[in-house]
Amino acid sequence: MSSHQVLAGFHAVVARLRHAPSSVKEVYVDASRRDKRMHALVQQAGQAGVKVLQVPAQRLDGIAKGLKHQGVLAMADKQVLAQDIDEVLDLLEDRGETPLLLLLDGVTDPHNLGACLRTADAAGVHAVIAPKDRAVGLNATVQRVACGAAETVPYLMVTNLARTMRRLKERNVWLVGTDDQSSGSLHTVQATRPMAWVMGAEGEGMRRLTRETCDELVHIPMLGSVESLNVSVAGAVCLYETVRQRTAQKA
Protein backbone atom coordinates (compact mmCIF):
# COMPACT_ATOMS: atom_id res chain seq x y z
CA MET A 1 0.00 0.00 0.00
CA SER A 2 1.36 3.43 -0.93
CA SER A 3 2.40 5.73 1.91
CA HIS A 4 1.40 8.75 -0.16
CA GLN A 5 -1.95 10.22 -1.07
CA VAL A 6 -3.32 12.76 -3.54
CA LEU A 7 -4.96 15.81 -1.97
CA ALA A 8 -7.42 17.46 -4.35
CA GLY A 9 -8.86 20.97 -4.19
CA PHE A 10 -8.02 24.18 -2.35
CA HIS A 11 -9.50 23.23 1.04
CA ALA A 12 -7.65 19.93 1.32
CA VAL A 13 -4.30 21.31 0.16
CA VAL A 14 -4.46 24.51 2.22
CA ALA A 15 -5.47 22.59 5.34
CA ARG A 16 -2.53 20.20 5.01
CA LEU A 17 -0.09 23.06 4.36
CA ARG A 18 -1.39 24.75 7.50
CA HIS A 19 -1.43 21.75 9.84
CA ALA A 20 1.36 19.50 8.55
CA PRO A 21 3.44 21.27 5.87
CA SER A 22 6.34 18.83 6.20
CA SER A 23 4.09 16.01 4.97
CA VAL A 24 3.46 17.75 1.63
CA LYS A 25 5.95 16.66 -1.04
CA GLU A 26 4.82 18.60 -4.10
CA VAL A 27 1.97 20.87 -5.12
CA TYR A 28 0.65 20.88 -8.69
CA VAL A 29 -1.31 23.88 -9.94
CA ASP A 30 -3.07 24.75 -13.17
CA ALA A 31 -0.58 26.88 -15.12
CA SER A 32 -3.40 28.92 -16.68
CA ARG A 33 -4.77 30.20 -13.31
CA ARG A 34 -3.52 33.60 -12.13
CA ASP A 35 -6.26 34.59 -9.66
CA LYS A 36 -5.76 35.77 -6.06
CA ARG A 37 -6.79 32.45 -4.53
CA MET A 38 -4.18 30.57 -6.51
CA HIS A 39 -1.56 33.20 -5.79
CA ALA A 40 -2.21 32.89 -2.05
CA LEU A 41 -1.89 29.11 -2.16
CA VAL A 42 1.37 29.25 -4.13
CA GLN A 43 2.70 31.78 -1.63
CA GLN A 44 1.68 29.58 1.31
CA ALA A 45 3.39 26.57 -0.25
CA GLY A 46 6.54 28.60 -0.89
CA GLN A 47 6.66 29.81 2.71
CA ALA A 48 6.41 26.17 3.83
CA GLY A 49 9.30 25.21 1.56
CA VAL A 50 7.11 23.03 -0.67
CA LYS A 51 7.90 22.77 -4.38
CA VAL A 52 5.12 24.08 -6.66
CA LEU A 53 4.83 22.76 -10.20
CA GLN A 54 2.76 24.63 -12.78
CA VAL A 55 1.29 22.10 -15.19
CA PRO A 56 -1.43 21.94 -17.87
CA ALA A 57 -4.97 21.22 -16.68
CA GLN A 58 -4.92 17.93 -18.60
CA ARG A 59 -2.06 16.65 -16.45
CA LEU A 60 -3.98 17.55 -13.29
CA ASP A 61 -6.94 15.58 -14.61
CA GLY A 62 -4.69 12.58 -15.14
CA ILE A 63 -3.24 12.70 -11.61
CA ALA A 64 -6.64 13.35 -10.01
CA LYS A 65 -8.25 10.31 -11.67
CA GLY A 66 -11.76 11.67 -11.35
CA LEU A 67 -11.31 13.78 -8.21
CA LYS A 68 -12.54 17.39 -8.35
CA HIS A 69 -9.29 19.33 -8.04
CA GLN A 70 -10.19 23.00 -8.81
CA GLY A 71 -6.80 23.35 -10.46
CA VAL A 72 -4.85 22.31 -7.34
CA LEU A 73 -3.37 18.95 -6.30
CA ALA A 74 -0.74 17.89 -3.80
CA MET A 75 1.21 14.72 -3.20
CA ALA A 76 1.57 14.15 0.53
CA ASP A 77 2.36 11.54 3.15
CA LYS A 78 -0.70 9.87 4.60
CA GLN A 79 -1.57 11.42 7.94
CA VAL A 80 -1.64 9.10 10.93
CA LEU A 81 -4.15 10.25 13.55
CA ALA A 82 -5.19 8.30 16.65
CA GLN A 83 -5.98 4.69 15.77
CA ASP A 84 -8.31 3.68 18.61
CA ILE A 85 -10.45 5.22 21.31
CA ASP A 86 -8.12 4.33 24.18
CA GLU A 87 -5.31 6.18 22.44
CA VAL A 88 -7.56 9.25 22.16
CA LEU A 89 -8.67 9.11 25.79
CA ASP A 90 -5.17 8.46 27.13
CA LEU A 91 -3.86 11.51 25.27
CA LEU A 92 -6.68 13.68 26.62
CA GLU A 93 -6.01 12.42 30.14
CA ASP A 94 -2.36 13.39 29.80
CA ARG A 95 -3.37 16.85 28.63
CA GLY A 96 -6.02 17.27 31.32
CA GLU A 97 -8.74 17.84 28.70
CA THR A 98 -12.40 16.82 29.01
CA PRO A 99 -13.35 14.37 26.23
CA LEU A 100 -15.95 15.35 23.64
CA LEU A 101 -16.76 12.64 21.10
CA LEU A 102 -19.27 12.15 18.29
CA LEU A 103 -20.68 8.69 17.50
CA LEU A 104 -22.47 8.20 14.17
CA ASP A 105 -24.67 5.13 13.74
CA GLY A 106 -25.82 4.52 10.18
CA VAL A 107 -24.39 7.54 8.35
CA THR A 108 -23.57 6.27 4.86
CA ASP A 109 -23.79 9.49 2.82
CA PRO A 110 -20.30 10.97 2.22
CA HIS A 111 -21.68 14.52 2.13
CA ASN A 112 -23.23 14.04 5.56
CA LEU A 113 -20.04 12.56 6.99
CA GLY A 114 -17.94 15.35 5.51
CA ALA A 115 -20.24 17.96 7.04
CA CYS A 116 -20.16 16.15 10.40
CA LEU A 117 -16.35 16.12 10.39
CA ARG A 118 -16.23 19.80 9.51
CA THR A 119 -18.55 20.65 12.42
CA ALA A 120 -16.67 18.29 14.72
CA ASP A 121 -13.42 20.12 14.01
CA ALA A 122 -15.05 23.50 14.60
CA ALA A 123 -16.57 22.37 17.92
CA GLY A 124 -13.36 20.83 19.21
CA VAL A 125 -14.47 17.20 19.01
CA HIS A 126 -11.61 14.83 19.83
CA ALA A 127 -12.76 11.90 17.64
CA VAL A 128 -15.66 10.75 15.48
CA ILE A 129 -16.59 7.09 15.79
CA ALA A 130 -18.65 4.94 13.42
CA PRO A 131 -19.28 1.21 12.82
CA LYS A 132 -17.44 -0.41 9.94
CA ASP A 133 -20.54 -2.18 8.63
CA ARG A 134 -22.91 0.81 8.38
CA ALA A 135 -20.77 3.81 7.55
CA VAL A 136 -18.95 5.52 4.74
CA GLY A 137 -15.16 5.65 4.82
CA LEU A 138 -12.90 8.65 4.27
CA ASN A 139 -13.27 8.79 0.50
CA ALA A 140 -12.49 11.76 -1.74
CA THR A 141 -15.99 13.22 -1.44
CA VAL A 142 -15.83 13.13 2.36
CA GLN A 143 -12.43 14.84 2.34
CA ARG A 144 -13.65 17.55 -0.03
CA VAL A 145 -16.82 18.31 1.94
CA ALA A 146 -14.91 18.20 5.24
CA CYS A 147 -12.74 21.12 4.05
CA GLY A 148 -9.62 19.82 5.79
CA ALA A 149 -11.30 18.39 8.92
CA ALA A 150 -10.50 14.84 7.80
CA GLU A 151 -6.86 15.82 8.37
CA THR A 152 -7.40 16.95 11.97
CA VAL A 153 -10.21 14.87 13.54
CA PRO A 154 -9.59 11.14 14.07
CA TYR A 155 -12.31 9.07 12.36
CA LEU A 156 -12.40 5.69 14.06
CA MET A 157 -14.32 2.88 12.35
CA VAL A 158 -15.00 0.10 14.87
CA THR A 159 -16.14 -3.49 14.44
CA ASN A 160 -18.79 -3.33 17.15
CA LEU A 161 -20.24 0.08 18.06
CA ALA A 162 -22.13 -1.13 21.15
CA ARG A 163 -18.96 -2.73 22.52
CA THR A 164 -17.06 0.52 21.93
CA MET A 165 -19.82 2.41 23.73
CA ARG A 166 -19.48 0.10 26.72
CA ARG A 167 -15.73 0.71 26.66
CA LEU A 168 -16.39 4.45 26.76
CA LYS A 169 -18.62 3.95 29.79
CA GLU A 170 -15.77 2.12 31.51
CA ARG A 171 -13.66 5.21 30.85
CA ASN A 172 -16.34 7.41 32.47
CA VAL A 173 -17.61 8.96 29.23
CA TRP A 174 -21.34 9.80 29.41
CA LEU A 175 -23.26 8.72 26.28
CA VAL A 176 -26.11 10.97 25.16
CA GLY A 177 -28.25 9.82 22.25
CA THR A 178 -30.70 11.89 20.24
CA ASP A 179 -34.21 10.49 19.89
CA ASP A 180 -37.25 12.40 18.64
CA GLN A 181 -39.49 10.45 21.03
CA SER A 182 -37.50 11.23 24.17
CA SER A 183 -39.06 13.51 26.79
CA GLY A 184 -35.72 15.06 27.74
CA SER A 185 -34.36 18.10 25.93
CA LEU A 186 -30.78 18.56 24.75
CA HIS A 187 -30.70 21.73 26.90
CA THR A 188 -30.98 19.59 30.06
CA VAL A 189 -27.79 17.65 29.31
CA GLN A 190 -24.87 18.22 31.65
CA ALA A 191 -22.37 18.69 28.87
CA THR A 192 -19.39 19.83 30.94
CA ARG A 193 -18.59 16.22 31.91
CA PRO A 194 -16.67 13.79 29.65
CA MET A 195 -19.28 12.91 27.05
CA ALA A 196 -20.16 11.61 23.61
CA TRP A 197 -23.12 12.60 21.45
CA VAL A 198 -24.66 9.60 19.68
CA MET A 199 -26.45 10.34 16.42
CA GLY A 200 -28.38 8.09 14.06
CA ALA A 201 -28.98 8.72 10.37
CA GLU A 202 -32.13 10.59 9.43
CA GLY A 203 -34.99 8.23 8.75
CA GLU A 204 -33.90 5.06 10.53
CA GLY A 205 -32.19 6.76 13.44
CA MET A 206 -30.05 4.72 15.84
CA ARG A 207 -30.20 0.96 15.95
CA ARG A 208 -31.97 -0.57 18.96
CA LEU A 209 -28.81 -1.77 20.71
CA THR A 210 -27.12 1.59 20.17
CA ARG A 211 -30.10 3.38 21.71
CA GLU A 212 -30.25 0.99 24.66
CA THR A 213 -26.55 1.43 25.38
CA CYS A 214 -26.85 5.22 25.75
CA ASP A 215 -26.84 6.65 29.28
CA GLU A 216 -29.34 9.36 28.35
CA LEU A 217 -31.72 10.11 25.48
CA VAL A 218 -32.80 13.63 24.54
CA HIS A 219 -34.64 15.34 21.71
CA ILE A 220 -33.88 18.52 19.81
CA PRO A 221 -36.81 20.95 20.25
CA MET A 222 -38.59 21.35 16.90
CA LEU A 223 -40.88 24.37 16.68
CA GLY A 224 -41.77 24.22 12.99
CA SER A 225 -43.50 21.72 10.74
CA VAL A 226 -40.55 19.46 9.83
CA GLU A 227 -40.12 16.33 11.94
CA SER A 228 -36.34 16.01 12.00
CA LEU A 229 -33.03 17.60 11.03
CA ASN A 230 -30.31 16.36 8.74
CA VAL A 231 -27.76 14.43 10.84
CA SER A 232 -25.00 16.97 10.22
CA VAL A 233 -27.26 19.85 11.30
CA ALA A 234 -28.51 17.92 14.33
CA GLY A 235 -24.92 17.12 15.25
CA ALA A 236 -23.97 20.79 15.02
CA VAL A 237 -26.86 21.82 17.28
CA CYS A 238 -25.89 19.27 19.94
CA LEU A 239 -22.15 19.85 19.78
CA TYR A 240 -22.54 23.59 20.15
CA GLU A 241 -24.71 23.10 23.22
CA THR A 242 -21.63 21.43 24.69
CA VAL A 243 -19.42 24.29 23.49
CA ARG A 244 -21.83 26.81 25.08
CA GLN A 245 -21.83 25.06 28.43
CA ARG A 246 -18.09 24.50 28.55
CA THR A 247 -17.34 28.06 27.51
CA ALA A 248 -19.67 29.40 30.22
CA GLN A 249 -17.99 27.17 32.81
CA LYS A 250 -14.60 28.69 32.01
CA ALA A 251 -15.89 32.28 32.12
3-state per-residue secondary structure call for the chain: CCCEEEEECHHHHHHHHHHCHHHEEEEEEECCCCCHHHHHHHHHHHHCCCEEEEECHHHHHHHHCCCCCCCEEEEEECCCCCCCHHHHHHHHHHHCCCCEEEEEECCCCHHHHHHHHHHHHHHCCCEEEEECCCCCCCCHHHHHHHCCHHHCCCEEEECCHHHHHHHHHHCCCEEEEECCCCCCEHHHCCCCCCEEEEEEECCCECCHHHHHHCCEEEECCCCCCCCCCCHHHHHHHHHHHHHHHHHHHHC
**Distance of alpha carbon 81 from alpha carbon 60, whole angstroms:** 28
Contact between 127 and 82 under an 8 Å Cβ cutoff? The reply is: yes
What single-letter amino acid sits at 204? E
Residues of each annotated binding site: 200, 220, 229
What single-letter amino acid sits at 174? W
Residues of each annotated binding site for S-adenosyl-L-methionine: 200, 220, 229
